[in-house]
Amino acid sequence: MKCVVLDASALMTFFEGGPAAERVEYLFALAAEGKRQLLMTVINWGEVYYSVWRKRGPDIAKRIAIEIAQLPLTIHNVDKELARLAAEFHGRYKLPYVDCFAAALANQHKAQIATSDRDFARIASEAPLIWI
């Protein structure tokens, strides 16, 4: 089964709606059918939570967290090995550090990265990208 790591920007796009959200919704549909495995690090989950909390307040952030928990998405904790890989991505590519966790998880799982964040273009040689 193909594996896809969601960057925070992909999940934010999904919750904000609009035409690009349909691409993320399609990935969720594939995951629900067992045709894709969707992953995200707890660090990137925290980025989504913080972004919603900052823009829309704590009540909406809590509601979004509940909605995320119901999606066919596996949230991975960060261990020392994942943190090491993220640090190496940061050192090699100067990708924002939080984004390096998505890159590291994709590297571990030989997965694609779903993102709308153009910073990820720097690592296209390391992980295939799905542009949202």
Parse the chain into domains and list their residue ranges: 2-131
**What was the pLDDT predicted at 86?**
97
- Cα separation, 86 vs 83, in Å, equals 5
Helix (H, G, I), strand (E, B) or coil at 55: helix
**Region 2-131: CATH code:** 3.40.50.1010
pTM: 0.94
Sheet with 2-6, side-by-side order of all strands: 74-76, 36-41, 2-6, 112-115, 129-131
- Cα separation, 115 vs 113, in Å, equals 6
35 — pLDDT class (breaks 50, 70, 90) = very high
Percent of the chain with pLDDT over 90: 94
Report which of residues 31 and 1 the model is more confident about. Answer: 31
- Cα separation, 124 vs 62, in Å, equals 33
**What was the pLDDT predicted at 10?**
96
